Amino acid sequence: MQSILMDVDTGIDDALALVYLLSRPEVRIQAITCTAGNVGARQVALNNLALLELCGRSGVEVAIGAEAPLKIPLVTTEETHGPQGIGYAELPPPAQAISERHAVDVWVETVRAHPGEITGLITGPMTNFALALRREPELPRLLRGLVIMGGCFNYQGNTTPTAEWNVSVDPHAAQEVFAAYSGLPSDKLPVVCALETTERIELRPEHLQRLAEAAGAAGPELVLPEQPEGQRSASDNPLVACLADAIRFYMEFHRLYDQGYVAHMHDAFAAAAAIGRTPFQTRTATVHVETQSPRLFGTTVADFRGLWNEPPNARIVTSNDPAQCFDELIASVGSLARALPASGHRVYP
């Protein structure tokens, strides 16, 4: 079994990351903690609970932590991920309640209870984890490993010309996290999945068609650029319908920013990387997060050559295999979807 502790800001690609991990029989999700980012933290938690229920899972703790970044006001991005963070998907209110524990308590208590066993996966701003590190500075040594989706290195940002979203929401938290890893043995350094490799995980309409086939859905799943914006899935498979409705929104967003009718599945790649089911290579580096310069606020800089004479604090992913990653995501999520009861053919006006 692989034990994963997730911190997310669900989020369309976070949603795919979660569903993918739920589809893996060898993965135990210890808990899911929620950070404000794509949408507010409470909405993130409701999304995670609703997705768990959609996938037929109960008993996974979902906890809220920081509802704002460490030092700056919160910005959210409903423009990117939809009014509730899951695009056009609408899920019923979850029956399971949000945990009464604070996310920081969840991190510290869970990792202390299972030293050397837990892999952390952070696919949102690093606020909760930075706060957890303040409480328990030994977390980097107590964790089995840490995988982060965040930053961009020698590559344009998606929030400012040089900054990536998760880091730019809370750059001070990201800086604290990288500082906490300075000088640790390289197998303990966080694996950083940054935009230059996660933007290669480009989901296209044919991937959704393949997912519906893998799920054994009754009809083809057609999410196409010529269709009216906001059209909803008619799939009889509730998981396929949810993902198609979420991802259609994300594709429309990417098209709006001249990236084509595609959707970058940053967080799903990070999830597959965290459990070793998609190949990637890394290079150690010293990462600095800029928090002073107004124009460069949230920019991540990597010193790969030791020019700063500071010890490494990260392993940055330098190559990955998008085709394999999609094969893995589709096969695994497809088989989970296939096992769910059909919801009947949905008809939208």
Contact positions vs Ca ion (CB under 5 A): 9, 11, 14, 123-124, 267
Q: Which H, E and C letters describe 149-211, residue by residue?
A: ECCCCCCCCCCCCCECHHHHHCHHHHHHHHHHCCCCCHHHCCEEECHHHHCCCEECHHHHHHH
288 a catalytic residue: no
Q: Residues 207, 254, 266, 288: which is the catalytic one?
A: 266
Residue 160: CA count within 13 A, CB half-sphere: 17
* Local structure of 323: helix, strand or coil: helix
The three-point CA angle 34-36-41 to 5° equals 55
Q: Which listed option, ligand BDR, Ca ion, none, makes contact with residue 248 (CB within 5 to 8 Å by class)?
A: none
Residue in the shown chain whose Cβ atom is closest to Ca ion: 11
Judged by CB under 6 A, the chain residues 180 through 239 that form the site for ligand BDR are none
Assess whether the previous peptide bond of 11 is cis (omega < 30° from 0): yes
- With CB under 6 A as the contact rule, the residue among 33, 43, 48, 80 that binds ligand BDR is 80
Quick one: tokens of 106?
Answer: 């969840």
CB of 124 vs Ca ion, minimal distance in Å: 5
Q: How far apart are alpha carbons 314 and 142 in whole angstroms?
A: 17
Q: Following DSSP, what letter does each residue of 13-38 receive, concatenated?
A: HHHHHHHHHHH-TTEEEEEEEE-SSS
Task: By CB under 6 A, tell whether 254 contacts ligand BDR.
Answer: no
- With CB under 6 A as the contact rule, the residue among 4, 7, 11, 312 that binds ligand BDR is 11
- With CB under 6 A as the contact rule, the residue among 76, 84, 158, 282 that binds ligand BDR is 158
CB of 224 vs Ca ion, minimal distance in Å: 26
- With CB under 6 A as the contact rule, the residue among 6, 7, 14, 325 that binds ligand BDR is 14
Active site residues: 266
Contacting residues toward ligand BDR, per CB under 6 A: 11, 13-14, 38, 80, 123, 149, 158, 164-166, 266-267
